[in-house]
Amino acid sequence: MSGSEEDKRYFGTDGIRGHVGEPPITPEFMLKLGWAVGRVFSRTGRGHILIGKDTRVSGYMFESSLEAGLVAAGVDVSLLGPMPTPAIAYLTRTFKAKAGIVISASHNPFYDNGIKFFSGNGEKLDDAVELEIESELDRPMLVVESDQIGKVSRIKDAAGRYIEFCKSCFPTSFNLEGFKIVVDCAHGATYHIAPDVFKELGAKVIEMGTAPDGFNINDQVGSTSPGKLVEAVTGNNADLGIALDGDGDRVIMVDDQGEIVDGDELLLIIAQARRSAGRLVGGVVGTLMSNFGLEKALEREAIPFKRAQVGDRYVLSELLRNRWELGGESSGHLLCLDLTSTGDGIVSALQVVGGMLQENKSLNELKQLMMKYPQHMINVRCQERMVLDEIPQICDAVKAAEIELKGKGRVLLRPSGTEPVVRVMVEGEDVAQVEKLTNKLAEVVEESVG
């Protein structure tokens, strides 16, 4: 079966996600989804599937529903409990499981939840496999014979296995003795893992966001809300701060001056350190939203750079196409394919700290490699999805803006994939010019598609 994202009813760019209690994020749907997944992955023989989750309260409900559906389809299940998304990808590979299931809504509030899947290789599922699962959802749910019903077990040492894996991604010639690090786990899936990784490598760790109660995940903590981390770093005279999101696949950092270091800057630091050590394979993949400053900095370092569509699956696809290893998004979703098969906040942070030790520089010094360009964006509502480069007045306005920027900035018009808006963005060296051009472009777009 072949197909594309546009053909799907339930799967988006990162699994299935929504508001708890509203279809499809209901116990009934998850029961049927578990059964459908079990049907698809048991076609090549009986195997087992791992289930992990983050710390939101609805995870218990959906874990039980998925478990029941999977065993009804004749699949054995291994429960991991609260575990970061990248840990589930790693453990799926090491246990030779048919697939891994993540119950998480990532950086969303507790009242949202979702399901993500990994193949046996620890990679996101292909479009064709997701369409197969959706096809099975249309069939009546039939339970296998009683002697074929799946069994359920719990992997009790999952956290310890993953902690050791993370530590193995840090150079053995370095340790973190003398470092004071604030680690913010967003009251999410890394709460019992990330602090131990950095402690066991020798750092003095100040913990934040490590008391999940089912409702406080991502609540004014973590990579989407780093304000308190900034205060903790400066208040404790720490060397740096690390902010993970609810499921642990993103990371944002804070330097010793209290300045936030985003995904673009972290990506550059990792790339430059690898290039300096002779370990950079090819170039770097960013997205359409990566800051123009990243592109210019990589150009100065003679490191090739390509942009992919927004979304880690598109970054991954571009990396695989070019046989490169390093890519990511401004949000802090970074890919180091020589180490992991998916975005991993802890592993990415370790690469940055390793770069600091290798270069013998602070995080603040390393972030000076990149000058972030001022960026301004306006969302223009539109009635329907339109092909913008087929509208003459919009094309003319974009060309005029690019001429005015004189190669020292860029223009991006991008229809949102999740809401009826066109994102109008301009980057450049001068804040006033950027805002003026963005407003002017937004007016043209609104007149054309509003």
**Catalytic residue selected from 106, 223, 341, 348:** 106
- Mode of pairing for the β-strands spanning 260-261 and 251-255: antiparallel
Per-residue pLDDT reduced to its tens digit, 163-209: 999 999 999 999 999 999 999 999 999 999 999 999 999 999 999 99
- Mode of pairing for the β-strands spanning 421-428 and 375-381: antiparallel
Task: Output the pLDDT for position 448.
Answer: 86
CB 183 within 8 A of CB 233: no
CATH architecture, domain 5-156? 3-Layer(aba) Sandwich (3.40)
191/9 Cα distance (integer angstroms):
34
Looking at the chain, the domain(s) classified CATH 3.30.310.50 span: 375-449
CATH architecture, domain 375-449? 2-Layer Sandwich (3.30)
Long-range CB contacts for residues 159-163, cutoff 8 Å, separation at least 24: 159/83, 159/87, 159/192, 159/193, 161/91, 161/94, 162/83, 162/84, 162/87, 162/90, 162/91, 162/193, 163/193, 163/196, 163/197, 163/200
Looking at the chain, the domain(s) classified CATH 3.40.120.10 span: 5-156, 162-367
Task: Output the pLDDT for position 414.
Answer: 87
What fold does the segment set 162-367 form as a domain? Alpha-D-Glucose-1,6-Bisphosphate; Chain A, domain 3 (3.40.120)
333/335 Cα distance (integer angstroms):
7
* 125 SS3 class: coil
Active site residue 225: no
Per-residue pLDDT reduced to its tens digit, 219-229: 999 999 999 99
Q: Within the chain, which residues score under 50 in pLDDT?
A: 1-2
Please give the model's pTM, rounded to 2 decimal places: 0.93
Which residue shows structure tokens 């209690």?
A: 21
88/128 Cα distance (integer angstroms):
22
